[in-house]
Structures are given as C-alpha cells and as structure tokens.
Structure 1
Amino acid sequence: MHRLAPIAERAAAPTTLPSITAGGLHWRSATVDDAQAVVDLANTMYEADGAPYRETIDEARADLAAPWRHLETDSLLGFDDAGELRVTAMIEVPPGDESTVRTYCFGGVHPERRGEGIGREVLAWQLARARQILAASGKDLPARIGVFAEDDDPESRHRMYAHAGLEPRRFYANLKRPLDDDASLPHVELTGSLRLVPWSEELDDAARLAHNDAFRDHWGSEPQTMEQWTNGRSEFAPEWSFVVVDDAPDVEALLADPRTDAATAEALRAGAPLVAGYALNSRYAADFPVRGYSFGYTDVLGTRRAYRGRKAALAALAASMRAFADDGMAAAVLDVDTENPSGAHGLYASLGYVKEHGSRMYSIEL
C-alpha cells in the first residue's frame, strides 16, 4: 500500500490567506445572529439560479450554530457600503471523519454583484483556508476539499471550479415518486425477528449506529457523531420516520463478524436495541411552491450490512411513503449517489422513482 506523506505536507497550506479586493466589499466573520441575512441571500441566489429548493431561517440558524463550526476563522461575509450582505463564504469540517479528513466550501455571490471577480477571489480564500485546516488537523489520512453544484447551475460556476483545480468527482440524482395511487405503494413483509416501528428518541442512537454501518462501504461517507446526527433537524418529521429493529439479534454472531464496528459491539454488549434498517424523513415545506407540489423527503435510508437482502430499509421506506400519502403529500422525494454500491438506484427505479434534478461534487483529493 502506498504510504501517504504527512498531511501537513500534502495540504501545502499557505502561511497567509489571500486578500479579497474585488467588489470593494467590507468583510467580517459570520455569527449566528447573521442567520436572517444569510438565508435571505441564499434564497435570492437559489431563485436566480433556478435551484429546486429554498432555505428557512431555522435551517440557517442551526447550520451556523453547529457545535463543530469555527465561524471566526472559517467564514466570511461581504457587505456593500449600504451594509447589505452580498457574499457568503463558509467552510465546514465534519467532526467524525475516520478514514478521510474532509473540508467543504459553501457560499455564493448576490446575482447583482456577479461578474466582478468576487467569486474567484472568495473561492481562492476558501481553498487556502481549507488547506490550512487540513494541515492543522494532524490526521495523516487521505484528505478532501469539496464543493457542490447543481448540474444546471450557471456554466460560469462550473468553469470557476475547474479553473481552481476542482474536479467533478461524484454525481447525484434527485428522484421523485408520485403518491397519487395508493394501490401502487409497496407492501413489505418482514421475516424472523425483524419488526417495523415508528422512529423514537429512544431508538435514535441505535439508528445512527445503523446508518454508520450501512454507509461504511459507500464512497465519501464517514461515521457521524451524535451531534452531527441530531443537528439541523428543524424540518425533521418524526411522524413520517420509521426504523426496523431486530427483537432477537444473534449477538454472538454479530460480535464475531469482522464487519461489526466497535460502537455497535459496545451497544450489543450493553443490551441496547439493534436497528437493522431506517428511514428518517423531513417536511421541507418552503420547497413546495418552488417545485409545484408537496412531498415528503427521505433524508437518510439504509440497512445494516449484515441485514442486506432482508428488506429492512425497503420496509421503512414503504411505511414512509404511506405516511406521506396519508398526510396528503403529492410525492416522495430523495437523493441518491448514482454509483451507490448497494444498488439503491435500481431499487428506487423499480419503486417508481424518476430523476428530476441532478447535482455533483467537485473536489481536490490530497
């Protein structure tokens, strides 16, 4: 196996960050109190770009207040002479990374101030700061700097990312499944000691452990800490969410299975419930007018690797779709990595999900 150079060497972090002079703006770090201005600018940009979503003040506040955020050093806001917010730049560092240490850059420029070179300089600042963060992490692991874009974002944005050395690395499909025909919704029978139950706070950590296990072999996925798992749930719909528990797990076999992670093993020894599959969903009502229909959105869906083939995730998803329909939603919506190793894309197609939008991740791999 090729031995990586120390991350401090690979990151090639600059000693000082590049200045942002384009646009003649006034710059400072963000605070949680900026949530309203940040969300207003975000939605102005989304509308101009034809994005199929909008952000709420609760989502923006939760994002800015996430306990792993370091806004003082990892964010910038650009204001014009009238004090109006015109640019946002954020860098996120997920706290639970174990196999790849990651940084993600978010933000944008008000449509009226585009074409002045501000975006290029802001992106250069973000990439330089991301390199500093990676170098200081002390994690001698593979590293990534990533940004996301909708496939139909302005072409100038895609060119800007490519010019900065970011390469399109992963592609995602946003899928829709109409719910106008109750008879077509799937019925799933679970076998053995598997049982479908509504999501509850008591099962939330067990669902997190199941998620970490389910996505352990997915590209770009890292274990989520409990603070990550529960952060940003302002639109979470517990009444639409379901888990599948194993009432009589083979604890000895699971403990002997090399695929069983340490956190799950500890929970099994403690007699904690074992979640085999899960579907956690949200109600993004602010998106309904943009898309022209109401929908339930599946944020996370998966099955533990030892339980694949036993329809645990399918049962949770089917229950979710029925809950959406019972509440009058017109459709079920979710996103999937087009190269998902579990064959999820084919499963969704068989259930009637059809692609509506696409997005991608650009990255620099270090």
Structure 2
Amino acid sequence: MHQDWIHLEHVGAWTDLTNRLAAVDDTDEFYEAEDLLEELNEPGVDPARDTLGLWDNDTMVGFGQLRLGEQLRDGRGRVSIGGGISPEYRRRGHGTLVMDVLEARAGEKMAERHPGVDYTIDVWGNAPGHSAGEMAVARGYEPARFFQDMTLAPGDFLPHRHPASVAEDTVLVPYSPGIAEAVRLLDNEAFADHWGSAPKSADEWAAMTDARSFRGNYSRVLLEGHGEDRPARALSHVLGAEWVARELYISRVGTARAARGLGYAAWVLSTVVAAAFEDGFTKVDLSVDAQSPTGALGLYERLGFQLVRSGTVYRKTVTAR
C-alpha cells in the first residue's frame, strides 16, 4: 500500500474508483474522466497538495480531495473534504490517514489564503449508518445539516403555470455567457441565507459554467429590464447539468429575495424540466437542504419530485492558530 497525490495519469483509476463507490454506496454520483480532470484544474486547487490517492499495487483503493472557497462567509473560511475508500479496505485506518493529511492541509491553506481566520470543515456522511459518518463523529465533527436527493420521472411531472405576477419587461431566456455576471450576482444573493454556501468569485463561476457537464440549453434565467438601456437584472435562475447521459441534474435554483414567494422558481424550473423531458431525458434529479429557508423542499414536492435518499453533512469548526 502506498500513497501519492492524484496526477493527471491517475484520472482513469480515480474515475473507476469513484464510479464503483457511487454504485456500492448508492450515491448516484457517477462521473466521466473529463469531469474529474476538470476538478483537478478548478480555481485555487493544487493537486499536489489538495488531493491524495491510496494505492494497492496498481489499483487506487482510496482517495481524498480538499476544496477551499475563495471568499469568506460570515467572517469564516469554508473547507470541504471529499473522498472514499473501497469497501474491502474500510475500517483499516485508511480513511483516517486521508483525513489526517487533508485536515493538516486545510490548516496550511487557510493560513496561506486567510491568515488568522477561523474556518469550518465539512465532510459528507452518505446515508445514516455509513462508516464515513461514524469516522467523522469520532474525529470531532457533528451532524450539521440533512440533505435529500430527489428525482422526477416524466409521468410524475406536475408543471407549474406561468405566474400572473411576471412583469411585462421580463423575459425568460436560456443561460448564455452574455448574462453570466448578472446570474452570478443573483446566485450570490439568493444563496446568502443558505446554510453552508459561500459567494462564488467570477473564476469559480466560470469554472462551473464552462464544465463539460453544464447544460446552458437546459438552464433558464428570468431577466428584468431585458432589452432596455439599463443592464438586465436576473430575478430567478435554474441551472442544469448532465453527468449521466439523458439524466438532467438541477444544480442551482435561486430567486432574488425581493422576488420570492411569487412563483418564479417553480415556473422557471417547470420550463427546464419540460424541455428536458421533451428532448428525451429519462429523469431529472436534484438535492435539497431539508431545512432550506426558502421552502424549496415543498416546491419540489409540488412539481412531483420524490425522495430517493437522505444524507448528512458533518461539520467541525477550527480556530485559527
């Protein structure tokens, strides 16, 4: 058994392990090699220091990766650590090794980027009872938030009608690079009161919307003031991605605070779902914070989305040295 950071030539083995874990742990998080290659090239990521692979001869049997948000939220940094261990290698201390290395790296990276600033570390615990959650608790993490994965099949879709409150100077358009900044600003505003979120920089936004999986043609933005002299303002947006062929994943749903409660999000999402099903997609998936302050869970249920799995995010707060 040996360890090394994840090199470009390791992406194939990393993809194989990630997809095996998706099946074994029923996360449905399947990736192409290109997706993981993009993760190595994300803004601010140093693969040689922010990733770790565990190997048994030529087989990758475990991995970990660290992300640090470029911007602070509520005066604190936000770190997330992801990873996984092959089932037959679990409960042998390999997960502990990965966490030891990446937690130490989190402290180093925070000191480099935000010296003297406290931070949180989030890890995903998968379904209740999974060994990842047990390990997190043993390391001083606490259950912090519960998320629900939901899915929608064509026969269960209950579209939302066009809201009567939509003003004449608004227009619903597909996402395009020309409105990227307006949508980024809306996204940062819409998620400012969401647990665990941090504002996205222009570089982070570009990395997300330039990704192989992003689907601008299955994303919609409600713009106010479109076509006038003043810049258009985004009121509501739904962004879609496709990691598995013919399965659309809703990655972002947001509405400006002043425009909440008017039915915009349900309508915009309905148009995205309808377009996907019309083009032959077999299902639409999303993940929602069960305690979302916007009542998102109820919105999705009204459109016909159904619960398929639950998961827990564990968090630890670290005081800067």
Q: TM-score, normalised by structure 1?
A: 0.79
Structure 2: distance between partners of 1:332 and 1:42: 21
The Cα offsets for residues 222-253 of structure 1, whole Å up to 9 and x where unpaired, read as: 11012212324211222211100002799xxx
How many residues align? The count is 313
Output the CA distance in 1 between the equivalents of 2:139 and 2:309: 25
Q: 2:106 aligns with which of 125, 130, 136?
A: 130
2:203 corresponds to: 227
| 1:44-83 Cα deviation digits (max 9, x unpaired) | 2222223323111111011111131012222222222x33
Instruction: Please tell me whether residue 185 in structure 1 is matched to residue 137 in structure 2.
Output: no
Alpha carbons 2:170, 2:224 under 8 Å: kept: yes
Q: What is the 5 A alignment of 1:240-251?
A: 240-247=218-225
After TM superposition, list the pairs within 5 Å mapping 1:287-298 onto structure 2: 294-298=246-250
Aligned partners of 1:92 and 1:104 also within 8 Å: yes
CA distance in 2, matches of 1:314, 1:185: 8
Q: Report what 1:93 is aligned to.
A: 68
* Maintained 8 Å contact 2:145/2:289: yes
Pick the aligned partner of 1:319 from 265, 271, 283. Answer: 271
Query: Deviation at 1:201?
Result: 1.5
Aligned to 1:173: 148
C-alpha distance 32-304 of structure 1, shift in aligned 2 (>3 A): farther
Deviations 1:99-143 (A, max 9, x none): 330111112222332232211222222222223333443355541
Distance of 1:199 and 1:360 partners within structure 2: 31
Q: Which residue identity is paired with 1:355?
A: L
Q: Cα distance, 1:285 vs. partner?
A: 1.8
Which residue of structure 2 lines up, in the alignment, with residue 273 of structure 1? 232
Q: Indicate yes or no: 2:316 matched with 1:338.
A: no
Matched residue type, 2:195: W
Partner AA of 2:160 in structure 1: P
The 5 A counterparts of 1:42-81 are: 42-80=18-56
SS at match of 2:125: strand
Structure 1: stretches of 5+ with no match in the other structure: 1-24, 251-269, 287-293
Which structure: larger Rg?
1
Task: Report SS of the residue matched to 2:29.
Answer: coil
The percentage of aligned residue pairs carrying the same residue is 26
**3-state DSSP of counterpart to 2:166:** coil
For 2:118 and 2:262, the matched residues in 1 are separated by 34
Spell out, residue by residue over 1:328-362, the C-alpha distance to the aligned partner (whole angstroms, 9 max, x if none). 22332211111111111122222222211111211
Give the aligned partner of residue 216 of structure 2: 238
Pairing of 1:189-208 with structure 2 (within 5 A): 189=163, 190-192=165-167, 193-208=169-184
1:3 paired residue number: none
Higher strand proportion = 2
Q: Which moved more, 1:186-195 or 1:342-351?
A: 186-195
Alpha-carbon distance change, 77 to 326 in structure 1, aligned in 2, over 3 angstroms: same
- Do residues 349 (structure 1) and 301 (structure 2) align? yes
3-state DSSP class of the match of 1:68? coil
Which of the pair is proportionally richer in helix? Answer: 1
Report the alpha carbon displacement of residue 298 of structure 1 after superposing the two structures with TM: 0.9
CA deviations 1:136-156 (Å, max 9, x no partner) are: 43355541011112215x632
Residue 248 to residue 328, structure 1, CA distance change in 2 (3 Å): closer
Contact 1:32/1:65 (<8 A) preserved: no
Whether the 8 Å CA contact 1:188–1:318 is kept in 2: the answer is no
Cα deviations across residues 23-44 of structure 1 (Å, max 9, x unaligned)? xx22222233322121111112
The TM-score normalised by the length of structure 2 is 0.89
Question: Taking structure 1 as reference, are residues 309 and 137 closer, same or farther at Cα in structure 2, changes over 3 Å only?
Answer: same
Distance 1:175 1:272, change over 3 A: same
Does the 8 A contact of 2:3 with 2:53 survive in 1?
A: yes
CA change 1:146–1:30 in 2 (3 A) is: same
Conserved 8 A contact 1:188-1:314: no
SS in 1 for 2:281: coil
Q: After the TM superposition, which segments of 4 or more aligned residues of structure 1 sit over 4 Å from their partners?
A: 139-142
Letter in 2 for 1:284: W
The runs of 5 or more residues in structure 2 that have no matched partner are: none
User: Hey, what does 2:252 align to over in structure 1?
Assistant: 300
Q: Distance in 2 between matches of 1:320 and 1:124?
A: 42
Would the aligned equivalents of 2:31 and 2:244 in 1 still touch at CA under 8 Å?
A: no
Rounded to whole Å, the distance in 1 between the matches of 2:160 and 2:309 is 24
